[in-house]
């Protein structure tokens, strides 16, 4: 079986050809598909661990649901769409609680892992290959739209949030977890430079599309003010913003931050919003 590094090299060599094969996709969608197909093997073990958990744990610190309260109280019988599902462990957690879950992801390799874990766990729910900015689902099909990273950072918020609003029924909830604003303002450009420090490295005004010198992926992050305006324009009211503090002694496999930093500043944040009306036709 190829190693992660060999898959990455192969992806790099065939980048131009694969992007041409997906010419109908936005450039960042094609690039992120390559990125996650190359990383899928590395994330398969973590996906299996998440599937095996009896209680959901969230984000890079693994904060238990019993502490974070990310999910709504009522899950049983509700229709849920996971936007950017990856290995679909969030969908699995919700399906075990009685939800009718559907996952969509941009990476065929990640979905292959998800389907393998479905078979091993004997838990079936629909999984679709696609861009969460433009899904094939009907209007008002879901009660909850959720993303832990996934669409929350790998899709353009000015496209995926209105799409989530389209998919949700009136009163439906949008829940997403992503890197915090302060994390994105303090993280170095490359991993070899180390994790975030107490130094601001880039401007907050105008933050949107993030590209990194050491890989070909594209992320999207916007300020709190921009999030609030976007959610309102899309027909949502903000229910909550949870800035996650790292637990004492917390460690993470990810190199962009450390537990000591996460005790002082939030590396991650959770947004909760409720659909209350039709999107406003306001120019961005």
pLDDT for residue 3: 30
Is 280 part of a structural domain of the chain? no
Q: What is the pLDDT of residues 180-233, one digit of tens each?
A: 999 999 999 998 899 999 999 999 999 999 999 989 999 999 999 999 999 999
pLDDT for residue 15: 36
Is 205 part of a structural domain of the chain? yes
Q: What is the pLDDT of residues 153-181, one digit of tens each?
A: 999 999 999 999 999 999 999 999 999 99
Is 282 part of a structural domain of the chain? no
Is 284 part of a structural domain of the chain? no
Q: What is the pLDDT of residues 223-267, one digit of tens each?
A: 999 999 999 999 999 999 999 999 999 999 888 999 999 999 999
Is 221 part of a structural domain of the chain? yes
pLDDT for residue 11: 35
Q: Are strands 268-275 and 236-244 parallel, antiparallel or unpaired?
A: antiparallel
Residue 18 — very low, low, confident or very high, per pLDDT cuts 50/70/90? very low
Share of the chain above pLDDT 90, in %: 85
Please determine, for residue 30, whether its predicted confidence score (pLDDT) is greater than 70: yes
Is 11 part of a structural domain of the chain? yes
Residues, the chain, total? 284
Instruction: State the greatest distance between any 2 C-alpha atoms of the chain, in Å, as a whole number.
Output: 51
Average pLDDT of the chain to the nearest whole number? 91
Residue 277 — very low, low, confident or very high, per pLDDT cuts 50/70/90? confident
Share of the chain above pLDDT 70, in %: 90
CATH number at residue 225: 3.40.50.150
Mean local confidence (pLDDT), 41-56: 95
Our count of domains for the chain comes to 1
- For the chain, the 3-state helix, strand and coil shares in percent, each to the nearest 5, are 40, 20, 40
pTM above 0.75, yes or no: yes
DSSP string, 65-122: HHHH--S-S--TT-EEEEET-TT-HHHHHHHHTT-EEEEEES-HHHHHHHHHHHHHHT
Please determine, for residue 20, whether its predicted confidence score (pLDDT) is greater than 90: no
Residue 233 belongs to domain spanning = 4-275
pLDDT for residue 8: 33
pLDDT for residue 280: 67
Please determine, for residue 19, whether its predicted confidence score (pLDDT) is greater than 70: no
Residue 22 — very low, low, confident or very high, per pLDDT cuts 50/70/90? low
Is 281 part of a structural domain of the chain? no
């Amino acid at each position: 079986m190829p190693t992660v590094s060999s898959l990455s090299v192969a992806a790099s060599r065939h980048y131009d050809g694969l992007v041409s094969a997906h010419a109908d996709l936005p450039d960042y969608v094609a690039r992120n598909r390559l990125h996650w197909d190359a990383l899928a093997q590395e994330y398969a073990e973590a996906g299996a661990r998440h599937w095996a958990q009896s209680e959901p744990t969230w984000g890079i610190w693994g904060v238990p649901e019993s502490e974070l309260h990310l999910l709504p109280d009522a899950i049983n019988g509700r229709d849920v769409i996971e936007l950017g599902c990856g290995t679909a462990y969030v969908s699995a957690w919700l399906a075990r609680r009685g939800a009718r879950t559907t996952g969509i992801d941009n990476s065929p390799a990640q979905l292959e892992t998800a389907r393998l874990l479905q078979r091993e766990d004997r838990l079936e729910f629909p999984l679709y290959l696609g861009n969460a900015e433009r899904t094939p689902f009907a209007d008002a099909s879901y009660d909850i739209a959720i993303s832990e990273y996934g669409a929350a950072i790998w899709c353009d918020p000015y496209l995926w949030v209105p799409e989530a609003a389209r998919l949700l029924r009136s009163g439906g909830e949008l829940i997403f977890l992503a890197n915090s604003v302060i994390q994105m303002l303090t993280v170095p450009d490359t991993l070899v430079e180390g994790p975030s420090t107490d130094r601001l490295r880039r401007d907050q005004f105008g933050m949107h599309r993030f590209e990194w010198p050491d890989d070909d992926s594209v992320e999207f992050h916007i300020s709190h003010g921009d999030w609030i305006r976007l959610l309102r324009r899309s027909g949502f009211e903000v229910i909550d913003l949870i800035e996650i503090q790292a637990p004492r002694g917390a460690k993470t496999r990810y190199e962009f931050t450390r537990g000591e930093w996460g005790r002082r500043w939030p590396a991650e944040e959770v947004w909760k919003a409720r659909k209350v009306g039709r999107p406003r036709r306001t120019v961005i």
